[in-house]
Amino acid sequence: MSTTRLLVLGGVRRFGRAHGYEVRRELMSWGSDEWAHVNPGSIYHALKQLAKEGLLRAHEVEESDAGPPHTDYEITEAGHAEFLRLLRCALATVDVRHPEMLTAGLGFLTELPRGEAVRLLRERLDGLAGWRASVAPHVQEQDPADHLRELLGWWVHSADSATAWTRGLIERLEAGAYVMAGEGPPRPAHPERPAPQGRPARP
């Protein structure tokens, strides 16, 4: 649910005010149904649940020439705080069971100030080093004839690859890549967007 909460809160936050279809369309255009298993039903459920918790504010819109009745959502102050908490956790925490949290967090990377993003990613480096240190000694201990040695080796390789990528991202951010929160002109909400023309190619 944490990934869904982050995606839905972040989606509403970017629009400023949006109804469920707009949020669903935005998240589906990211392919989140595939890498985060966030389907339309879970998005609508999350919108209602987050409104119930006071993290979103629901506005009932009556039928008009513009369309049928629907519910618009906007994020509350408590919702902003929860969004930022989840985003910080997604970037700083290494959770091999839920890699989709990092994926979701990267989608909102520029919602953080540059210095804070770098600090969180350095925390991630510490977590990766701890994960590697907990696994690497067992590779040599494993019987060479036991194929599970390959699983441990894969985890070590994954930690090394993730470490190299994280260091690269930190270097890019420190060199000025991207427009981060607090930099440049304010970002306007986009209450109306054209339908996406297709998803990015899958790896």
- Quick one: 39 and 124 in the same domain? no
Q: What tokens does 90 get?
A: 């997604």
Q: What is the pLDDT of residue 203?
A: 36
Cα 89 → chain centroid: 10
* Residue 192 forms part of a structural domain: no
Decide if 50 contacts 56 (C-beta within 8 A): yes
Give CB contacts under 8 A, 24+ apart, made by 20-23. Answer: 20/44, 20/47, 20/70, 20/71, 20/73, 21/70, 22/191, 22/193, 23/47, 23/73
pTM: 0.84
- Quick one: 71 and 132 in the same domain? no
- Quick one: 103 and 130 in the same domain? no
- Quick one: 103 and 133 in the same domain? no
- Quick one: 5 and 104 in the same domain? yes
State the total domains in the chain.
2
Mean pLDDT per block of 10 residues along the chain (203 residues) reads 91 92 91 88 94 95 66 96 98 92 96 98 97 86 78 90 98 97 73 41 38
* Residue 197 forms part of a structural domain: no
Domain around 71 = 1-108
* Residue 202 forms part of a structural domain: no
